[in-house]
Chains A and B, each alone.
Chain A
Amino acid sequence: MSEPSAISGQRTAPGDGQSGDPSHLSPLTSGLPLSPNQRAWRRFRRNRVAVVSAWFLAAVVLLVLLWPLLSPYSPVAISEAQFQPPDTKHWFGADLHGRDLLSRVFYGARISLLVGVVGAGVSLVIGVLWGAVAGYLGGRWDSVMMRFVDVLYSLPSIVFVIVLLTTLNAFLAKAQGKFISADGAALLRFTGLFAGLGAVSWLTMARIVRGQVLSLRTRGFVEASRVLGASHARILLSHILPNVLGVIIVYVTLTVPSIILYESFLSYLGLGVQPPYASLGSLIADGVGQLNPVRVYWWLILFPATLLALTLLALNFFGDGLRDALDVHAERR
């Protein structure tokens, strides 16, 4: 654990950068201790895969948002070009109804991203709070809170989601035209989808966080800050949670793809995004439905699946980069 900064007499923060890395000797930062966030940001920038992933995600989001302005084709416009293979007119080919696949893929990506991010956000907030509080309090409160999670856990999520969505659909079928417009109904259906997916995916997060907190709260540094008179909220937020952050981030990046995949499964059952709307999952499910040994419409699966896989890969690498950057242990390396 040699500290080159100590040798050259500079007051850089301890452990800033790995030894042998010259960046912390640059004139811009010399002599000034960096805040933890600045150090994290610097570590993140150094991770090439994560930076590329971040740019890729930004590009996808931008393209997805701007595509309606750029595209000559509407994602729902039916044409004569049935099962048209990719060519100069339709870059990604066309589907069963002659709809331009490129437009549909970008359109579906928008919905998939929205579903994944909102669902993961719900799971992040509820799951972390619930798990951290239960693990920190321990004893009886831990039992009560975790038995509640057990109850929800033990209900197969698919039963809950199916009941929620079929109830919502039946309600909307009745209400539509009377006091809800078609747009309002579509919006409500999406909200139901978010709520359902979020409500079934915070449980694992809560369990994982609770397990980590349970083993952290008996550690010396927690005892020490308690002895020093720190409040429970302070111990939990500034001493325990930063130590769990790595696991949380990795788990969120795993939750986004799993929610997007869950949505594609629901689409497979006909309960997800309803036609003519589409998600990447429902596009793949449609393509799989056209699979047969005689004629292969490969573009129907390949393009949506590639964009889905690339997006999810980028999300994961991005999360990994964040984790490595924020990792409190990295400082001791």
Chain B
Amino acid sequence: MYFLKRIAFMIPLLLVISGLAFALIKLAPGGPFDKERKPATPEIERALAAKYHLDEEVWQQYLRYLGGVAQGDFGPSLKYRNHTVTDIIAQGLPVSLALGGLAFCFALGVGVPLGFFTAVRKGRWEDYAGSFLAILVVCVPGLVIGPLLVMALAIHWRWFPVALFASPWHAVLPTLTLGLYFSGRVARLMREGMMTTLHAEFIRTARAKGLGETQVLLRHAFRLAVLPVVSYSGPLLADLLTGSFVVENLFQIPGIGVFMVNSSLNRDQTMVVGLVLLYAVLLLVLNLLVDFAYSVLDPRVRYE
């Protein structure tokens, strides 16, 4: 019941979000055509504005946009004028989904075992080495790791292609660049959750009942210890799936992360609001799943 209500609540929420994004772009000074050649005459400028209804009141523009969205039309991009927003997203999204999904699997696949392992071995050299590694990757930006990986593995040793996204081989360096940082964050959250859980009464009970250490750790502790990671993975996945400006720029990957930044800089309002809506839908759905997972994993959590 609680979750049905949340789903029903998504539509007004999306309306608020789109309105907010629209208002934000309108608040910023300048327009989408600022960086282009000045039209020969004011008439052309007016005609251009009229074609995209930029001469109307802001609320009229917003209602017109919503009307279009209701019919599945997200409007034309004001910057890439031969393309609709739907076209651009449809072209870039599969690439971003693939890369983001890979990076997500990498982050969890490396981060969760690492965090688990370092917490179990707390205070020994394995803990120090593992924690140091986790913190190190959190502290070195993708801006540095990416070019260094390219310099070393692609240019110097020629193990991997320098750029593009054509085969699984091409995906290795972008996935590493994108995923390493998050694997460190996941490892730290996992370690923290594990260490908190290991002090809980039910762990002592499980041990007192004579359960093996593996059973205690994997079946009893893990379930609660993974909660901070679960909490984090909703926004993380939404972030990763909508692309990364740095990685896409660096490896010349045609995803949608570049558009999010460039459209905001260009005040390309239809593009921005379209991308914001896409991100918002992803995030709301994923956060719903996170809360659902919470109630499954931790029986003490109840939603009324």
Closest CB in chain B relative to A230 CB, distance in Å? 21
A158 in complex: contacting residue of B141, B147, B264, CB < 8 Å:
B264
Q: When chains A and B are docked, how far (Å) is the Cα of A288 from the Cα of B139?
A: 17
- Assess whether A17 is interfacial by the CB under 8 Å rule: no
Say whether B185 contacts A254, CB under 8 Å: yes
- Assess whether A317 is interfacial by the CB under 8 Å rule: yes
- Assess whether B205 is interfacial by the CB under 8 Å rule: no
B231 in complex: contacting residue of A150, A163, A211, A312, CB < 8 Å:
A211
Q: When chains A and B are docked, how far (Å) is the Cα of A254 from the Cα of B111?
A: 15
A159 in complex: contacting residue of B192, B276, B298, CB < 8 Å:
B276
Q: When chains A and B are docked, how far (Å) is the Cα of A59 from the Cα of B304?
A: 52
Binds A, one of B86-94, B167-175, B210-218, B280-288: B280-288
Can you list, as one digit per residue, whether each of A246-262 has a CB less than 8 Å from chain B (1) or not (0)? 11001000100100010
For window 1-15 of B, CB contacts with A under 8 Å fall at: 9, 13
Q: When chains A and B are docked, how far (Å) is the Cα of A183 from the Cα of B294?
A: 50
Number of A-B contacts (CB under 8 A): 150
- Chain A residues with CB under 8 Å of B287's CB are 150, 153
Say whether B27 contacts A309, CB under 8 Å: no
Say whether B144 contacts A284, CB under 8 Å: yes
Closest CB in chain B relative to A145 CB, distance in Å? 14
- Assess whether B42 is interfacial by the CB under 8 Å rule: no
- Chain B residues with CB under 8 Å of A284's CB are 141, 143-144
Say whether A301 contacts B144, CB under 8 Å: yes
Q: When chains A and B are docked, how far (Å) is the Cα of A211 from the Cα of B140?
A: 29
Q: When chains A and B are docked, how far (Å) is the Cα of A156 from the Cα of B228?
A: 22
- Chain B residues with CB under 8 Å of A291's CB are 147, 151
Say whether B143 contacts A264, CB under 8 Å: yes
B138 in complex: contacting residue of A247, A254, A264, CB < 8 Å:
A254
Can you list, as one digit per residue, whether each of A139-173 has a CB less than 8 Å from chain B (1) or not (0)? 10000000100110111101110110011001100
- Assess whether A178 is interfacial by the CB under 8 Å rule: no
- Chain A residues with CB under 8 Å of B279's CB are 154, 156
Residues of A in contact with B, size category: 35 or more
Closest CB in chain A relative to B7 CB, distance in Å? 13
Q: When chains A and B are docked, how far (Å) is the Cα of A267 from the Cα of B13?
A: 32
- Assess whether A204 is interfacial by the CB under 8 Å rule: yes
Say whether A250 contacts B192, CB under 8 Å: yes
> A254-B188, A316-B138 in contact; A153/B283 too (CB < 8 A)?
yes
For window 255-278 of B, CB contacts with A under 8 Å fall at: 260-261, 264-265, 272, 275-276
Q: When chains A and B are docked, how far (Å) is the Cα of A307 from the Cα of B279?
A: 35
A214 in complex: contacting residue of B20, B28, B301, CB < 8 Å:
B301
Say whether A167 contacts B264, CB under 8 Å: no
- Assess whether A265 is interfacial by the CB under 8 Å rule: yes
- Among A49, A153, A301, which residue has the most Cβ atoms of chain B within 10 A? A153
Closest CB in chain B relative to A318 CB, distance in Å? 11
Say whether A170 contacts B29, CB under 8 Å: yes
| Closest partner residue, chain B, to A219 (CB atom) | B300
Q: When chains A and B are docked, how far (Å) is the Cα of A147 from the Cα of B6?
A: 10
Q: When chains A and B are docked, how far (Å) is the Cα of A284 from the Cα of B25?
A: 30
> A154-B280, A156-B276, A309-B136 in contact; A162/B264 too (CB < 8 A)?
yes
> A156-B260, A158-B260 in contact; A305/B199 too (CB < 8 A)?
no
Closest 8 CB pairs of A and B: A312-B139, A154-B280, A329-B199, A162-B264, A170-B29, A316-B135, A163-B28, A309-B139
- Ordered by A's residue number, 18 sampled pairs between the chains whose C-beta atoms are within 8 Å are A138-B304, A147-B13, A153-B287, A154-B17, A154-B280, A156-B242, A156-B276, A159-B24, A159-B25, A204-B235, A218-B300, A218-B302, A265-B141, A285-B143, A288-B147, A301-B147, A309-B136, A309-B139
Interface contacts beyond A269-B261, A329-B196: sample of 13 additional A-B pairs, CB < 8 Å, sorted by A: A138-B304, A155-B276, A155-B280, A156-B275, A219-B300, A246-B192, A250-B188, A250-B189, A254-B185, A281-B143, A291-B151, A309-B136, A332-B199
B interface residues, Cβ below 8 angstroms from A: 9, 13, 16-17, 20-21, 24-25, 27-30, 128, 131-132, 135-136, 138-141, 143-144, 147-148, 151, 155, 185, 188-189, 192, 196, 199, 227-228, 231-232, 235, 242, 245-246, 260-261, 264-265, 272, 275-276, 279-280, 283-284, 287, 294, 298, 300-302, 304
A interface residues, Cβ below 8 angstroms from B: 49, 138-139, 147, 150-151, 153-156, 158-160, 162-163, 166-167, 170-171, 204, 207-208, 211, 214-215, 218-219, 246-247, 250, 254, 257, 261, 264-265, 268-269, 281, 284-285, 288, 291, 293, 296, 301, 305, 308-309, 312-313, 316-317, 320, 323, 329, 332-333
